[in-house]
Chains A and B, each alone.
Chain A
């Protein structure tokens, strides 16, 4: 079993999706799961309608309009819970008021910053490390091959299970949390980088040789750009895992952070407070992913464009 066989390893832009085992030719076919799942349906939709040409105002209006269902759900939640006496599901109104009091007016925000700091450090290390190690494992493929069973094993251990081990070594504190985040988040990026680089179209390699590119140059101008869609997908998956691990590490052993806030509120039976924490966490998670998608759209503009062209059939 090689690293290339690692299931769930590769995902092209977006989802913890795609087949990933495909050697995606440069403008991959829609029939290719890894490719087609490459962008979110809304990205797909945008690309397909050639929306780059449409004014951004019109785009905003249409996006807002499409949120009707979302709005409906919120409204339903509001009214259904309005008279709720259930401890576990307090009225939405109360939750939102508390949210405002604690997080906007109050000082609960400081909990958030400490979490995000750990996350940021952990994610950057995981991202950079993942790409570097992935690239190295690609370059020295024999080493990659020899090391792959061990890496595979560590990859599939649910990282939460490693918590005790990490805690034993590093105690409780920032470095432990960052280590957990790195350990869990590095894999999608690493595996995707490796697989993306491996999947370089052989015709491009031939072209590079025919144009007398040195091997370093070939990596920079041909292999890496070609692997970018997959690397970005890995980075996105790493982002999501990083957020989860940030919270997990706080739930287990921490004195601060949003995970700690939620847990503490739950232990105090301050359910409304707990809900505010959950909502804030949800918002942060989606905000980060949203930011990532924006960056992805810029970095992979060529890829989205090429796929849109091909999709028209």
Chain B
């Protein structure tokens, strides 16, 4: 079965699947199997996508989305890291704070959306708030956990090496917490994007979500544009997750978990 496992076969197989999906899309759209006018043709959408990529509107929307996402992420993540570290280092604070944070983490962020709309309207601020709020709670827990979960052997080694205070924090606690924080950041980035799009699609804040909403409301003639925007949103999602995954791999190449992957792939 060697040939089936070779690199070029895998690549071809993947390309074939992608082509098949696109073909299926075209077929569904043209034949009207899932309802007439429900789907634009694949070719039509691609053409529209090409057109849109050349207009300022699309890129403005992309920028709006990225801006809200980025700001929300910045605020949410930095607060989470600060709060999480403080709570993680102090046992009492940790024990007291955990019930609250864990409870709030289980609250569907979406519940806050109507409130945010009411307070800020369909604006960038609303989006930033939603992203920051949604990202804060799970990331704080991640940070707390990372700060607290030092390998007992590493911890004991630090004690015998007489590492204390700031040295210990920078030399032992931070690196041990790094994988958790990195994972948390990666998830936060993905979740943040989802929330940004929701804020735009439902809340009406400017961005890709709003573009989708607008073209949906503009009716069937703009259907290719709607799908083009959806595709762009998907690509944005891919870009975000890949970027963070890549950064994580590079920065944490020393960590066991990364090494495992490498050895497993070998």
Contact = CB atoms under 8 A, between A and B. Distances in A.
A133 to B, nearest CB: 15
Interface string A145-158: 11111101110111
Nearest to B4: A142
B49 interface: no
B34 A313 contact: no
A244 B238 CA distance: 21
A81 interface: no
Interface stretch (B50-58, B74-82, B140-148, B163-171): B140-148
B258 A148 contact: no
A165 interface: yes
Secondary structure class of chain A's binding surface, majority of residues: helix
Contacts of B208: 161
A142 B184 CA distance: 31
B16 interface: yes
Given A17-B184, A66-B99, A41 B234 contact: no
Interface string A139-183: 000100111111011101111111111001100000000000000
Given A161-B197, A164-B212, A244-B109, A153 B241 contact: no
A240 B106 contact: yes
Contacts of B13: 142, 145-146
Given A33-B179, A158-B237, A274 B186 contact: no
A88 B115 CA distance: 8
A30 interface: yes
B230 A33 contact: no
B180 A17 contact: yes
A185 B38 CA distance: 24
Q: What is the interface residue range for chain A against chain B?
A: 35 or more
Helix, strand, loop or mixed for chain B's interface?
Answer: helix
Given A73-B100, A248-B202, A158 B153 contact: no
Interface residues of B, number: 94
Nearest to B155: A313
B71 interface: no
B17 A69 contact: no
Contacts of A37: 142, 145-146, 149, 180, 183
Contacts of B30: none
A232 B228 CA distance: 36
Given A156-B234, A161-B230, A41 B145 contact: yes
Interface of B: 4-5, 10, 13-14, 16-18, 21, 34-35, 38-39, 94-100, 102-103, 106-115, 117-119, 138, 141-142, 144-146, 148-156, 176, 179-180, 182-184, 186-187, 190-191, 193-194, 196-198, 201-202, 208-209, 212-213, 216, 223, 226-227, 229-230, 233-234, 237-238, 240-242, 244-245, 248, 255-258, 260-261, 264
9 contacts: A22-B261, A41-B98, A41-B148, A68-B96, A158-B209, A240-B108, A274-B115, A288-B106, A313-B152
Q: Across chains A and B, which 9 residue pairs bring their CB atoms closest together, nearest first?
A: A313-B152, A156-B237, A146-B13, A33-B179, A7-B245, A157-B234, A158-B197, A289-B106, A286-B106
Given A32-B257, A160-B194, A262-B111, 19 more contacts: A5-B245, A15-B142, A16-B138, A18-B180, A21-B258, A30-B152, A69-B97, A142-B4, A146-B13, A148-B14, A156-B238, A158-B197, A158-B198, A158-B233, A243-B108, A247-B111, A251-B113, A285-B107, A313-B156
